[in-house]
């Protein structure tokens, strides 16, 4: 079986080339070509013909297939449907902001977390994505749009911390100066609350942005919305978040999808403010995006603004997320696994 070089970090690529009997400095050349979008070794003109032939025999550079692109008429957002080799498909989103272009990528084909409001978990988890498959979502979108991407959010299909090894390789590769050279502070990783993995993020990537999907002010509500809460209760999760902030000095973001009649009352807001008091955090309110299968509905805009004002009054930094791509089912919670 050939090795997909897009899955390798710079160090791993150096080791791989040495095993082939080559000098490890070649790794930087090859790595740079890969992240310039090269799809074949023949394009790597600064490598010897002998090395290119050796790579052809032993390695490959896999690429995702763009199956479909949807364009939002509201805000210019693009949703991409990518085909995987095993017949599954994943979705990614290209978004334009004043501060630059952002891509929301998937980290798994499907998801096993089972959050009741999210389309990503409807068909369960099929498999983890490799580091190369995560990176190629960005490379493919840059090539299709002709625009550079400066910010990455790992918030698409899947739970990133449930695929930590491949996530780590992906982050190192897009941060590498010979890769996409995207700064750690321009990378956001979202988790539904895999508490044992949160210290790993602090240790390995202290400068990235951590976003935690909270979505409730207490375990009673959270258990119904997010099964992971039964395994890692809210108090345990918030303790891990406080430790993370203490270790990294970085503000943490809490995602809070407002579900009509479930977690959006004044009492819910007051309880949430009490839980977060004293923690360096920002609450990102998201009026729930409609997913037909869930039977849940988002809070009306006026009620979302009321909830926001309530948190602000109690000293919590909070905003209501600007939703992009909702007309093409590309907004938060609407990305899903599609199987052939």
Q: What is d(CA 64, CA 90) in angstroms, rounded to the nearest whole number? A: 10
CB atoms within 10 A of CB 56: 13
Interior/surface letters 151-161, b for 16+ CB within 10 angstroms, e for the rest: bbbbbbbbbbb
Q: How far is CA 142 from CA 148, 187, 261, 302, in A?
A: 6, 16, 40, 37
Please check whether residue 320 is in contact with residue 305, taking contact to mean a CB–CB distance below 8 angstroms: yes
Which region holds residue 44: left if phi is over 0, alpha if psi is between -120 and 50, else beta?
beta
- Give the residue carrying structure tokens 């980290």: 107
DSSP designation for 115:
-
Residue 173 CB-half CA count within 13 A: 30
CA 37 to chain centre: 21
Whether 332 is catalytic: yes
Whether 18 is catalytic: no
Torsion of CA 281, 290, 186, 204, to 10 degrees: 70
**Which member of 14, 22, 91, 323 is catalytic?**
91
DSSP designation for 320:
E
Angle between helices 164-175 and 131-145 (to 10 degrees): 40
Q: What is d(CA 335, CA 121) in angstroms, rounded to the nearest whole number? A: 9
- Give the residue carrying structure tokens 């998937």: 106
CB atoms within 10 A of CB 287: 25
**Which member of 111, 115, 308, 332 is catalytic?**
332
Residue numbers annotated as active site: 91, 332
């Amino acid at each position: 079986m050939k090795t997909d070089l897009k899955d390798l970090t710079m160090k791993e690529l150096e080791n791989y080339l040495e095993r082939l009997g080559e000098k490890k400095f070649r790794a930087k050349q090859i790595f740079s070509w890969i992240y310039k979008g090269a799809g074949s070794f023949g394009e790597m003109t600064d490598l010897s013909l002998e090395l290119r032939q050796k790579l052809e025999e032993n390695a490959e550079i896999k690429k995702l297939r763009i199956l479909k692109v949807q364009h939002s008429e509201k805000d210019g957002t693009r949703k991409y449907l990518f085909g995987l080799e095993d017949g599954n498909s994943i979705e990614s989103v290209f978004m334009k902001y004043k501060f630059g272009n952002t891509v929301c990528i998937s980290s798994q084909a499907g998801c096993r977390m089972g959050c009741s409001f999210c389309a990503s978990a409807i068909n369960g988890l099929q498999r983890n994505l490799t580091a190369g498959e995560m990176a190629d979502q960005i490379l493919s979108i840059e090539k299709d749009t002709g625009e550079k991407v400066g910010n990455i959010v790992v918030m698409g299909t899947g739970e990133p911390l449930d695929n930590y090894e491949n996530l780590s390789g992906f982050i190192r590769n897009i941060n590498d100066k010979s890769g996409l050279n995207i700064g750690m502070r321009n990378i956001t990783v979202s988790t539904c609350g895999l508490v044992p993995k949160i210290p790993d993020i602090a240790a390995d990537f202290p400068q990235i942005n951590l976003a935690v999907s909270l979505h409730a002010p207490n375990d009673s509500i959270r258990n119904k919305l997010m099964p992971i809460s039964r395994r890692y209760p809210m108090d345990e999760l918030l303790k891990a978040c406080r430790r993370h902030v203490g270790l990294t000095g970085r503000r943490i973001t809490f995602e809070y999808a407002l579900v009509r009649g479930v977690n959006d009352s004044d009492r819910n807001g007051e309880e949430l403010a009490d839980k977060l008091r004293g923690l360096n955090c920002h609450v990102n309110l998201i009026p729930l995006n409609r997913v037909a299968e869930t039977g849940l509905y988002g809070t009306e805009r006026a009620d979302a603004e009321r909830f926001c004002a309530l948190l602000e009054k109690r000293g919590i930094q909070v905003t209501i997320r600007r939703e992009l791509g909702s007309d093409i089912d590309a907004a938060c919670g609407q990305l899903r696994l599609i199987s052939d």
